Structure 1
Amino acid sequence: MALSYAARRRWALVILLVGLPLYVVAAVTLVGLIERPSVLVELAIYVGLGFAWALPFRFIFRGIGQADPDAKKADGSGPSA
């Protein structure tokens, strides 16, 4: 099931405003449960977790910064020849 451009934009906003702060709190809590590792190991953990949160949502964020592709089709005012 493919999401429309508008639906993907709404989901991206929800993920960034609600999901990402919750994920940050969960990541900090998770790292806090173990004995404090060295700075480089801790940095590697946070970088890894930073990439890991976005992987399941790649399809939602892909193309969000572009103009609405459906608007071009509905507009009908393509380049004049």
Structure 2
Amino acid sequence: MALSYKARRRLALLVLVLGLPGYIVLAVSLVNLFERPSIWVEFGIYVGLGVLWAFPLKAVFKGIGQADPDAPPHDDHTD
């Protein structure tokens, strides 16, 4: 079952406000497990993890910036 537009907006907000900071803490903790890697290895890990989080959540964020497709048409024409 597909999520409604409102449900996707709420889920996207939840992911950005709670999930992403938690993921950042997890990524920093992962890098700290290594014995001070070189700057390029550390950079590669952060870039890889920075891109990796978005792939599973692509369906949640798709179309969130657009108008609600289920909303009734809005007449902007005023006389």
Query: Structure 1: which 4+ aligned runs deviate by more than 2 Å?
Result: 74-77
Deviations 1:53-77 (A, max 9, x none): 1111100000101111111xx3375
**Normalised TM-score (structure 1):** 0.86
**Normalised TM-score (structure 2):** 0.88
Higher helix share: 1
Query: What is the match of residue 27 of structure 1?
Result: 27
What value does the CA root-mean-square deviation take over the aligned residues?
1.5
Query: What is the match of residue 56 of structure 1?
Result: 56
Q: Which 5+ residue runs of structure 2 have no aligned equivalent?
A: none
Q: State the number of aligned residues.
A: 76
Percent identity over the alignment? Answer: 63
Distance 1:50 1:64 in 2: 20
Distance 2:73 2:62 in 1: 23
